[in-house]
Structure 1
């Protein structure tokens, strides 16, 4: 582990045994695509988009790696250009073999701590489709751990998504979590 990886790992508390957190690299794009595909709950983006994400948004995303260095989970996000104090979490996915161990929460806590250390972070946003109980729990428990409120509103209703005859998309509900405490007050 390099010194930079050790510094990054120190930001993530209570990682499950045998896993470590790292910044994604372009070489991880295919693995992130596979994890997203295998989740069967995420909107699967093109494999190309995961490669770009690992290149262009590595600073606001994380991967969890197993002992061999293989990605087993990820959180992708970006800082909103119109709201530079807001981290939008795009996708959270954990390989089936590693679910139920608190990995998603540890990655989310660590990612927000890292972003907050690099710039002012006042809120986290994400969108969740109705009925995605795991994501609802992840983000409401994140808000509770950080003493932040949660506002919900429909960001995109079902009719705004293009759909073919056998494709329908549920609405995307925006979860706005904040204000987050200043890093020195945690």
Structure 2
């Protein structure tokens, strides 16, 4: 049985809050998920330690297959902000990204959240597909607008990031 066939069974996937000891494995996963921006290993360690309640790690038999880092915005406590989504190449096509997003917004820590935000460059087709599919699955409304501009914020070194907002429908929040 191939790795992908084994993963598809899905019954042994573990969705959990990360621990500080997971930081280096998450860093390694992100390095394998081009073209994701690589943060320092220390940043991933801090995400695991300080933001565990709003991050999710997915593993199977101790192998890290998925990761989402996020936080509840201090200035907008009704907003769950997704920083980064990583799915191991061998686990792609299984809906793992969408399952991780759902796992996060279903947590007790997100009960007051009425929307999800993230930033995506126009060229990142995989992220657009994930967040559009997630919005549809919730019956939520997705909107976007340029937010961090190539010249104003990145000094021309990175593409403009669009702020994507998914507003949750009332019935979805009531069900959670």
> TM-score w.r.t. structure 2 length?
0.88
Residue from 176, 179, 182 that aligns with 2:165: 176
Number of the residue aligned with 1:148: 140
CA displacement at 1:134 relative to structure 2: 0.9
Number of the residue aligned with 1:33: 27
For 1:46-99, what per-residue CA distance to the aligned partner results, in whole angstroms no more than 9, with x for missing partners? 1110000000000000000112x2322101100001110100000000111111
Number of the residue aligned with 2:3: none
CA displacement at 1:22 relative to structure 2: 0.8
Distance 2:175 2:53 in 1: 23
Structure 1 contact 154–174 (Cα < 8 Å) conserved: yes
Structure 1, gaps ≥5 residues long: 1-13
Distance 2:69 2:144 in 1: 21
Residue from 96, 116, 134 that aligns with 1:124: 116
Distance 1:127 1:183 in 2: 22
CA displacement at 1:115 relative to structure 2: 4.6
Distance 1:16 1:158 in 2: 40
Number of the residue aligned with 2:129: 137
Distance 2:53 2:9 in 1: 20
**SS of 1:84's equivalent?**
coil
**SS of 2:81's equivalent?**
strand
Structure 2, gaps ≥5 residues long: 1-7
> TM-score w.r.t. structure 1 length?
0.83
CA displacement at 1:148 relative to structure 2: 1.0
CA displacement at 1:162 relative to structure 2: 4.2
Number of the residue aligned with 1:18: 12
Distance 1:115 1:49 in 2: 25
